[in-house]
Amino acid sequence: MTNADTHPKSRRDAEARDGADPLRAFKDHFDLPEGVIYLDGNSLGPPPKAALARLRRTAEEEWRRGLITSWNEAGWIDLPKTCGAKIARIIGADADDVIVCDSTSANIFKLAAALLAKKPGALAYEAGEFPTDGYIFQGLAAFAGAPITRLDPQAGAAGLHPEISVLIKSAVCYKSAAVADIAAWERAAAQTGVSIIWDLSHAAGLIDLDLQSTGAQYAVGCGYKFLNGGPGAPAFIYVARDMAQNLRQPLAGWMGHAAPFEFADAYAPAPGAQRFACGTPPILSLSALDAALDLFETVDMAVVEEKARTLGDLFLTRAAAMGLGSISPQPGARRGGHVSLRFEHGYAAVQAMIARGVIGDFRAPDLMRFGFSPLILHYADVWDAADVLENILATQEWKKPEYSVRKTVT
């Protein structure tokens, strides 16, 4: 996958590519507003039609009519596991080794605390890592009295050393979309006795992951990004079966108990990943996620990753012709589902694009981030989005004062 020259070179080219694209029809499974090209990066996946229908059913029938019987009759109590099994397929794990619960932030805490208790040492994260990952590690370090180490990302896996207990590391960098070599990191981790928690937030549902064969033992990730589970959808946690037996997580709630409905006084952890569950699962959110995950049932993740890269190649090549630099892997290189372009007035330019129906996002200080979710985008959409960006730069439309007013969520 190093051929930089495989992306469409004209709109006609893009249309031809769409005609031959095995993922083309997936767009019809999503409910996107007319006239919008959704290039969010991908902080919130758009709604699958099936997820919206499922939400209505869960609210109207299961909750309204079934009331508390729905925990059994509608299978609510099993949703963390059934969703976990569907995610397991997407990330290359065993069905039993993934459980859906809580947020990614909370899952990082639970997993890191359990690993730290097993092997005391430093908690490590790389400079420039997604903020919550670093914050949670800092908080846990202060709470547990453990040292904290911030690694230089340039050093890569060579930065690992035996004093480190746990490293949190994104599989796809949220800023650049650089993809980590999981197998290489795991080899270095095995030599130094470090446990790596892979943060798959920008990787799950996008990259062709095979956690088992790459030796990854611990992972967390979001349900609302490329998995399209809806705003605030619960996150997941993966623990390789052999490892879970030795881990005690600190938020030992009843949903992680071996037999929650025996109401025993003493805590006994459930087998496997289930022990990382804590309290009552959010059924409305889980229902939407469960329906959204079904879209992946027939999807070949290698095809998804390849299309994301080609869409990104197209956009990067167009952006380079506009004089815009990028911090993302260059055309032809392995990359996650987004590209980040440098532009001093990036915030205003993204706002101007949104006003024209092309939704991207902005990451401080100067990055315009555009996501290319292969299930919802056609090549022609990405070509058209590049036209809009080109026009906004050429006309300096971004200079309109309303585009510089900062909103809370960027």
Ligand X SMILES: *Cc1c(COP(=O)(O)O)cnc(C)c1O
Which chain residues interact with ligand X by CB under 6 A?
103-105, 130, 132-133, 170, 174, 199, 201-202, 222, 235
Q: What minimum distance in Å lies between the beta carbon of 62 and ligand X?
A: 25
Q: Which is nearer to ligand X, 105 or 214 (CB)?
A: 105
Annotated active-site residue 387? The verdict is no
Residue the block writes with tokens 């990302």? 153
Interatomic CA distance for residues 314 and 311, integer angstroms: 5
CA distance 187 to 182: 9
| Closest to 99 measured CA to CA, from 290, 315, 275, 264 | 275
Residue closer to ligand X by CB (options 63, 135) is 135
Smallest distance from the beta carbon of 389 to ligand X, in angstroms? 24
Q: Cβ 232 to ligand X, closest distance in Å? A: 8
Quote the least distance from Cβ 148 to ligand X, whole Å.
17
Least distance (Å) from ligand X to the CB of residue 107?
8
Please tell me which residue in 175, 307, 309, 369 is annotated as part of the active site.
369
- Chain center to CA of 267: 32
Question: Around 59, how many Cα atoms within 13 Å sit in the side-chain half-sphere?
Answer: 9
In whole angstroms, give the CA distance from residue 382 to residue 398. Answer: 20
Does the annotation mark 130 as catalytic?
A: yes
Specify the residue, 313 or 361, whose C-beta has the smaller distance to ligand X: 361
369 labelled catalytic: yes
Nearer to ligand X, 8 or 360 (CB): 360
Cα 39 from Cα 373, distance rounded (Å): 8
Active site residue 199: yes
Catalytic residue among 38, 109, 130, 362: 130
The H-or-E segment that residue 301 falls in is: helix 301-321
Cis peptide before 246 (omega within 30 of 0): no
Is 217 within 8 Å of 243 (Cβ atoms)? Answer: yes
Q: Which residue has the tokens 């397991």?
A: 88
Q: Which residues are paired to 166 by β-bridges?
A: 123, 195
How do strand 218-221 and strand 37-38 relate by DSSP bridges? unpaired
Quick one: 206 or 273, whose CB is closer to ligand X? 206
Active site residues: 130, 199, 224-225, 369
